[in-house]
Amino acid sequence: MEHGFLDEMSCVQSPIRRLDPRIKVLGFIALLVSIVLTRGASPAPFVLYGAILAVLITLSRLPVSHVLERSLIILPFTLMTALFIPFLKGADVLWSFDAGPLQIVLTREGLEAFAIIAVKSFLSIFCAVLLTATTGFPELLKALERLHCPALVIMILSFMYRYLFVVQDEFMKMRLAKDARSAGRSRRMDWKALAGMVGVLFVRSYERAEAVYLAMCSRGYNGRIIVSHDFRLNRADAAFAILMIATLAGINLFAQ
């Protein structure tokens, strides 16, 4: 079965791809933190952040459609938590509706807050997608290991990404078998069958995880990430770090 891997475009050779993964992780985290912590309703800082991401996409030689597609898939889930923000109380009421004892009020302050959260969410997701698209997943985990990220977190990320597709294949096989045996059944019976499938899938995943872990331990697995080459800093890495820090510092000074 076909899958969409996070790092399927990481083989594209580009200046961003050739950077040391540690520098990329630190640079993108700095950009992400700067986006999230930017205050005020002025659009200028966010336009500058968008310009930085546009330059990084150009240097990474990635198709813009690929990055946008990946970003738009995740964006609705992040905006679900902000659905009620436009209805926060404020001085400037734009629209109101009385539904019995409940009064729904749409305010300008709420809309501005929602717009800021939406822009920050999109830029943050864009940043994360760009990082994973220009860095192989083993290299990304190795960079986190070198940056002294907790070993347990790295192990969970490694196993989750490695075996998520195995679980997905198992679920798709179970769903095909269910469809082949349930022609003409009601929708209620379909939901009941799906609920049972989720329970069976959980049990099978737990059993397979135990078997895989024991097999890996018997072959000398010690929790460390192994990559084909060692990481070495060069002038391009130093230039990227200096430019990123200077640019983000300038934007934050401009936003104050």
Q: What is the pLDDT of residues 127-166, one digit of tens each?
A: 888 888 888 888 888 888 888 888 888 888 887 777 777 7
Residue type, 121: S
Sequence ranges of the domains in the chain? 21-148+228-255, 151-218
Q: Three-state SS for 88?
A: coil
Q: Check whether 217 has a pLDDT greater than 60.
A: yes
The confidence band for 239, taking pLDDT boundaries of 50, 70 and 90, is very high
Quick one: average pLDDT of 218-225?
76
Tell me, what's the pLDDT at 156? 82
Give CB contacts under 8 A, 24+ apart, made by 51-58: 52/247, 53/123, 53/126, 53/127, 53/130, 56/16, 56/130, 57/130
Label each residue of 98-116 as H, E or C. Answer: EECCEEEEEEHHHHHHHHH
39-71 tens-digit pLDDT? 876 788 889 999 999 999 999 888 888 888 888
Q: Is 207 exposed, middle or buried (0-12, 13-18, 19+ CB in 10 A)?
A: exposed
- In angstroms, the CA 201 to CA 118 distance is 35
What was the pLDDT predicted at 13?
82
Q: What confidence score (pLDDT) does residue 98 get? A: 64
Using pLDDT thresholds of 50, 70 and 90, give the confidence band for residue 31. Answer: very high
Report whether pLDDT(213) > 70: yes
Confidence of residue 103 (pLDDT cuts 50, 70, 90): low
pLDDT at 30: 93
Q: What pLDDT does residue 171 have?
A: 77
Left, alpha or beta for 85 (phi > 0: left; psi -120 to 50: alpha)? alpha
